[in-house]
Amino acid sequence: MPVLIRNTAELRAWVERLEGCEVLAVDTEFHPERKYVPELMLVQLRGDEGEVLLVDPKGDVDLRLLGPVVESKLLLVHGGEQDVELLAQATGGRATRWFDTQVAAGFCGLGYPRRLGDLVSAVLGRAMDKGETLSDWSRRPLSAEQLRYAADDVLVLAPLAAALQARVRANGQGGRLDACLAERLVAALAGPADQEAWRRVHGMQFLDDAERAIVAALAAWREKSARFSDVPPHSIVPDSILVDLARRRPRSAEAIRENRRTPSQVWKQHGPTILGILAAAERLPVPAYSRTGLDVDVVRLAARLAEAECGVAAGLVLRDCDLDYILRGSPLEGWRVGALGASFESFLRGNIAIGAGARWKQAQPQNDS
């Protein structure tokens, strides 16, 4: 049975035991719907392969006691970017080492991203009950079903990580996985950058350069406003309205209202700011990377073909900025070099192409005449 910790004295006693562990399996339950920083509802811990601890942030618990443990242990997580970010904010401890089973799966032919339950079924051959995923974690007391669900998420991490590490070692991708994990940990702890907020806006692929420049500026302003007000960005202005504003470029609050789906606070609270950004549209820089175009589609297709050959997930190797570099004629760098295999590298050099049936074929020589 998991141990539910609801006060500082109980946590202090368990922290002393955790300090002697080498590895700490970690998960969190949180509500992201109403705040800019998701509200932490539960912290699940398992040192080495001992008892599962369920720490209740809603109790009288000083989570800062966990800071040194978070910083000093190898953390096992699944899709853990949000987990380590929330733990850093709640405990003051910034993770220094981690092993993310979702990322590891992408280096041994299992795809990325995979849900924990699916991955456990594929690798360990056992089923997980995920019925409590969207339950209300703010209510107290937590139900027996919620406690079992929360405990199960960390119980499976050690055996799953061991199985995935064995697969990664067998296919020789251990060095690349380590480099990828280190890179992603730095990014997770750095948090989102305002100037990159446009990358999370749905619908960018349908806009031209001038419209994407407007959305980028609006998204950066929205991100700052959401952080200041501690609300989710979409509650300031929904993505669909950002895209609509970029397309229509209204010149007055009344014109903003012409889209019947525009929430009233958009023009009542933010109208002048939005109009100011739109007025400067011609001077706004176009985002560095465009998600549209046949050239992007071809590179993505080539990466998917390479993924099928080498077992490394293209989504882990090729970020937006990497596609931008490729389309400019620049090579991949660091651990990404060769990660998708020799065929993809040959494709980038123009030596092979994609033929009918989505298969590699010899590239046709260029006719310079």
Domain that holds residue 246: 194-283
Strands (E), the chain: 3-7, 23-31, 39-47, 52-60, 74-77, 97-100, 352-355, 359-362
Tell me the β-bridge partners of 30.
40
Task: Please tell me the predicted confidence (pLDDT) of residue 366.
Answer: 61
Statement to judge: residues 11 and 109 lie in one domain? yes
Global pTM value: 0.88
Domain count, the chain: 3
User: Which of residues 153, 175, 190 is at a domain's end?
Assistant: 190
> Of the candidates 125, 71, 115, which has an alpha carbon nearest to the alpha carbon of residue 94?
71
Looking at the fold, whether 48 and 169 belong to one and the same domain comes out as yes
Q: Tell me: do 76 and 134 sit in the same domain.
A: yes
369 is a domain residue: no
Per-residue confidence (pLDDT) for residue 242, from 0 to 100 = 96
Q: Please indicate, yes or no, if residue 368 is contained in any of the structural domains.
A: no
* Mean per-residue pLDDT pooled into runs of 10, the chain (369 residues): 94 94 96 90 94 96 97 97 96 97 97 95 90 83 94 96 96 95 95 86 85 94 95 95 96 93 92 94 75 75 92 89 72 89 90 86 68
Residue 231 lies in a domain: yes
pLDDT tens-digit readout, 143-201: 999 999 999 999 999 999 999 999 999 999 999 999 999 999 999 999 878 988 998 89
State the sign of the Cα–Cα–Cα–Cα dihedral 47, 53, 57, 59: negative
At residue 369, the pLDDT reads 47
Antiparallel, parallel or unpaired: β 23-31 and 3-7 = unpaired
Same-domain check for residues 62 and 108 = yes
User: In this structure, what CATH number is given to the domain that contains residue 272?
Assistant: 1.10.150.80
Clarify whether residues 163 and 215 are in a common domain. no
Q: Residue 318: what pLDDT? A: 87
Record the tokens describing residue 289, joined without a space: 């990377």
Based on the fold, state whether residues 183 and 206 are members of the same structural domain: no
Which DSSP string do the residues of 248-307 spell out, in sequence order? H--SSHHHHTTSTTS-HHHHHTTHHHHHHHHHTGGGSPPPS----SHHHHHHHHHHHHHH
Do 152 and 24 share a structural domain?
yes
Asked which of 190, 217, 235 is the last residue of a domain, the reply is 190
Are residues 155 and 22 part of one domain?
yes
Would you state the structure tokens that stand for residue 308, as one six-digit string?
A: 């099928």
d(C-alpha 234, C-alpha 222), whole Å = 8
pLDDT at residue number 319: 77
Q: Please tell me whether residues 167 and 298 are part of one structural domain.
A: no
